[in-house]
Structure 1
């Protein structure tokens, strides 16, 4: 079964101090090109996650300017792809993915997680688009020029998009850059739903009805996302899967439970994959990209048809790409 994964943080690992990581093959990350191919990957969304100052110091060894950091990680992926061009190629739209597949290549799609570096400038958004960025997670865990994050603080959670954020969503629609609402406040989610003329995504978010973490989606959000033609990518992180958000174990059984709930609430066209590989910790049953078929096998045993599994695995996300990029 081929598949598309909407989110991994693997590029972050390539910037860690005193490490040399090959994206072709390594023993450090959950994602590399050889394991992608072994698992059946059609396309992988590679995120440039913007660390906090503390994370920069701890992992990179120094604080870097956001744009220098973005350029570094983008160039790393482009270099690694160039060195393995018979296996994988960058994709900037739906046609590129189909062309790469026809030529026996997987696709890599660039994203940014946390739009803070945009700094309220539509010109910066266009600059990132021209670099090859095709999806942006509007916020991470802090307020930025777009709006506010998910939070246990009800006041923050209820806040919507800022004026620039609303303008930016419209502009991203025009550019062909997918809007990602994972990490955003509930108020921000509903603003995006009102404004966006194209399908948007929650690239790595689960069902709040099962796991009450505020990063997850309420049933009403899942329905709204489905009505807008978007998808939610199942996140493999234990604290987004477990009913007890302090528990540190991620299982296929829990993924199946979330996916059944999301499918029952929003329909079979809303479910997708968003592993969050290399951005999550814990005891992971699916701890590598090549193990993705374990989920498909479990869903088939649970009664999902092959057609429904194909929608989850790649068809739903491919439709969003076709309509949004």
Structure 2
């Protein structure tokens, strides 16, 4: 049985930007070589998710993947990116998302009601999400502007520092207790996101920043694409104390498919079994409960297990969940219902 999947993170907009920008949008409708497009979504039951707007640093991807195949690694953090450069890239990606909507492939959603409507219409429900807030100015004018254009989720940092706080490096083994907490600008950003109903994504934020958000925010704590540090001691993963804080806030965590954050050895290696994903799910369900765990694939932005190379392969994961002993109700919660619950709570809507 193919299940409806709502996902916490993808980087398809960056992929489209790099492969031709707005001229590449038609390929999303007809099929691409990458992980996410409309035909693959229809085949795999991918109903929607968080569409990241991400400003890439100038890095050599092959060198990065090679470094993350070693027993230990500590990748140098990229330099900060200026607002003027970042906002231009985010606007380009936003234009691509608008084109996908005009072409009828997606619906940009501003509410859970919109998500249900998109699903009923057979369109991919797309949350406008910014990963790393370099495109937000210190006065937060661009935050208000992007919110008016549909922004409903924001990560204050990626792995490089911003004027709002610090991220974690790609370091293994390591925890996220690295660097200082939120800056004054960062604290104002969290309060403004709360006021606007913009979800604050804790993925990539360092531990000091995490605890600052936990103290400041009046919304559920959410990490859209992160895993359990107790299973894989990587700086990108969440400690049990962090998971308990998320549970206390009635938030949730989306399981990241990136193999370096799944494996015991922290390696980027596609030869990673789905069973390793279930180890993380088991651990997070034990601490967070069945209502606070979902999926946050990182499709088109990371090396994932070879059995789940594209969204068309998502039924392999739900089949593995069934074989592992998860019942239908729990699988539906993990696949989409938990996301809709926490989004309704964050966006101030009644649950459906």
Q: What is the TM-score normalised by the length of structure 2?
A: 0.84
> Structure 1 residues 101, 155: CA separation in 2 closer, same or farther (over 3 Å shift)?
closer
Report what 2:10 is aligned to. 8
User: Structure 1 CA distance, aligned partners of 2:19 and 2:139?
Assistant: 31
Q: Is the 8 A contact 1:251 1:286 kept in 2?
A: no
Q: Over the residues paired in the alignment, what is the CA RMSD in angstroms?
A: 2.3
Match for residue 82 of structure 1 among 90, 94, 102: 102
> In the alignment, is residue 149 of structure 1 matched against residue 151 of structure 2?
no
Q: Kindly indicate whether residue 156 of structure 2 is the aligned counterpart of residue 138 of structure 1.
A: yes
SS in 2 for 1:285: helix
Would you say the 8 A contact 1:48–1:112 is kept in 2?
yes
**For 1:220-235, what aligned pairs fall within 5 Å after superposition?**
220-235=241-256
Which residue is 1:275 aligned to? 297
Asked if the contact 1:46–1:108 (Cα under 8 Å) also holds between the matched residues in 2, the reply is: yes
The equivalent residue for 1:39 is 44
Report the alpha carbon displacement of residue 40 of structure 1 after superposing the two structures with TM. Answer: 1.4
**How far apart are the structure 2 equivalents of 1:154 and 1:260?**
20
Where in structure 1 are there 5+ consecutive unaligned residues?
A: 57-62
> 1:138-164 CA distances to partner (integer Å, 9 max, x unpaired)?
101111121111245889725211111
User: Alpha-carbon deviations, 1:2-53, whole Å to 9, x = none?
Assistant: 1111100111111215684621133321001121122112222110111114
Counterparts of 1:146-185 in structure 2, within 5 Å, are 146-151=164-169, 157-185=178-206
Change in CA separation of 1:122 and 1:245 when aligned onto 2, cut-off 3 Å: same
The answer on whether the counterparts of 1:48 and 1:113 sit within 8 Å (CA) in structure 2 is yes
Deviations 1:217-267 (A, max 9, x none): 111111111111111111111100001012513331111110011101221
Which range moves more in the overlay, 16-25 or 192-201? Answer: 16-25
Distance 2:119 2:258 in 1: 29
TM-score, normalising length: structure 1: 0.91
Q: What pairs up with 1:231-310 in 2 under 5 angstroms?
A: 231-249=252-270, 250-281=272-303, 284-310=306-332
Per the alignment, in what secondary structure is the counterpart of residue 244 of structure 1?
A: coil
CA distance in 2, matches of 1:79, 1:284: 31
Indicate whether 1:65 and 2:85 are aligned. yes
